[in-house]
Amino acid sequence: MDGITKPRQLFDLHTSTLVPLPKTPNAALSSPEWYNAMYDEFSALIKNKTWELVPRHPDMNIIRSMWLFKYKFKSDGSLEWYKALLVCDGRKQQGFSQSKSDNSLFIYHKNNQVAYLLIYVDDIILTTSSDALRQQLIRLLAGEFATKDLGPLSYFLGIAVTRTGNNMILSQHSYATDIIHRAGMESCKPVATPVDTQSKLGSNSGPLFEDPTLYRSLAGALQYLNSTRPDITYSVQQVCMHMHSPSVEHWNALKRIIRYLQGTSNFGLHLGPASSVSLVAYTDADWAGCPDTRRSTSGYCVYLGDNLISWSSKRQSTISRSSAEAEYHGVANVVAEIC
């Protein structure tokens, strides 16, 4: 393909082996990495005087505690540290209630006051309906454990937030640039679309690609880029379906996505105020699009007012007998998403 010819380069694909997530505290204590993580967490709680020992009374609201174990990754996907958290069961705490759709999201709603708390390991996003409520909650959090207020949201899990008035742009420009660099395609020519619409990728698509590890690494990285790039959702879904046995044709399809990113790495997701908060969904399906199984691929996007908030491209689990049936499956998928 024109524009992607380059000298062969050798990449260091060495990755550190992650110690598996422990299923119980006892299992964690048998691992030096997780033992140290638990020790650091417990020491911080003691230092901050998080609790006081008091007699138990029958009328007390008892909240059980539990250990949570997670990996903390850097923006480039490499391991930063092992993180252990001793937390209370949020489902039994008063004030905030845990979201049913996302276990990391907690919601506070009292009278006309609303707050949303999103937690990932030790990173927190707090948004409230008023500045007074935000300051109150920050003081309460600071009284329980060591916190640092980083001000208005500017960066979270590799996603940069740029503000212009009341509007925000969510972008993964640095992450996209890193993917291009990892592929060794900094000098490639950009293309206008991320996928060739004239052909469909199948399992039997010519000779196998010589470096499947590189293919899987880049395909996996592209999946996270979907967080702010709905325009590559379909093409990434297509190349990820062949990670088990990628061919040269699959590799060329993946490189086309990277060539598209070369010219659009600064693209992002726009969010802003809207006069309406109604949910509007759009869906479509390609009937019998898979050349191997004849299954259809359905996709959808959901808008809250003028803001795009959810999107997906997924191979349907059954074979549709008609295009109408494939479309109905697509509608069922998006209805399940918003209901």
In sequence order, the 6+-apart residues with CB closer than 8 A to the CB of 79 are 16, 18, 71, 72, 73
Tell me the average pLDDT of the chain: 86
Residue 223's identity, in one-letter code, is: Q
- The string of pLDDT tens digits covering residues 180-230 is 999 999 999 999 999 987 777 888 778 999 999 999 999 999 999 999 999
> What average pLDDT does this structure show over 229-249?
93
CB atoms within 10 A of CB 28: 20
Give the alpha-carbon dihedral of 240, 280, 331, 234, to 10 degrees: -20
Residue 16 confidence (pLDDT): 54
Residue 89 confidence (pLDDT): 62
> What average pLDDT does this structure show over 254-275?
94
> What average pLDDT does this structure show over 295-316?
93
Residue 52's identity, in one-letter code, is: E
Q: What is the CA radius of gyration of the chain?
A: 24
Residue 198 confidence (pLDDT): 75
pLDDT at 7 over 50: no
What predicted TM-score, i.e. pTM, was given to this entire model?
Answer: 0.71
Residue 36 confidence (pLDDT): 93
- Residue predicted with more confidence, 311 or 89: 311
- The string of pLDDT tens digits covering residues 321-337 is 999 999 999 999 999 88
* CA angle centred on 73, ends 135 and 239, rounded to 5°: 120
- Residue predicted with more confidence, 148 or 187: 187
Residue of 213, 187, 182, 206 whose CA lies nearest to 4: 187
pLDDT at 3 over 70: no
- In whole angstroms, give the CA distance from residue 235 to residue 254: 8
pLDDT at 5 over 80: no
- Residue predicted with more confidence, 9 or 164: 164
- In whole angstroms, give the CA distance from residue 267 to residue 260: 11
In sequence order, the 6+-apart residues with CB closer than 8 A to the CB of 204 are 292
In sequence order, the 6+-apart residues with CB closer than 8 A to the CB of 192 are 260, 263
Q: Please check whether residue 315 is in contact with residue 297, taking contact to mean a CB–CB distance below 8 angstroms.
A: yes
In sequence order, the 6+-apart residues with CB closer than 8 A to the CB of 165 are none
What angle do the packed helices 173-182 and 248-264 form, to 10 degrees?
140
Residue of 58, 54, 84, 56 whose CA lies nearest to 72: 84
* CA angle centred on 329, ends 328 and 331, rounded to 5°: 60
Weakest-pLDDT range from 45-49, 142-146, 232-236, 331-335: 142-146
pLDDT at 93 over 70: no
pLDDT at 1 over 80: no
- In whole angstroms, give the CA distance from residue 188 to residue 179: 13
- Residue predicted with more confidence, 283 or 100: 283
> What average pLDDT does this structure show over 34-61?
83
Q: Which two tokens stand for residue 26?
A: 């006892």
Q: How many Cα atoms are found within 13 Å in the side-chain-facing hemisphere of 286?
A: 13
Residue 281 confidence (pLDDT): 94
- Residue predicted with more confidence, 79 or 242: 242
pLDDT at 53 over 80: no
Q: Where are the domains of the chain?
A: 19-48+63-88, 91-151, 170-268, 274-338
Q: Which residue has the tokens 């998006």?
A: 334
Residue 4 confidence (pLDDT): 47
- In whole angstroms, give the CA distance from residue 160 to residue 172: 6
- The string of pLDDT tens digits covering residues 10-26 is 444 444 578 889 989 99
* CA angle centred on 179, ends 252 and 302, rounded to 5°: 85
In sequence order, the 6+-apart residues with CB closer than 8 A to the CB of 193 are 260
Residue 76 confidence (pLDDT): 60
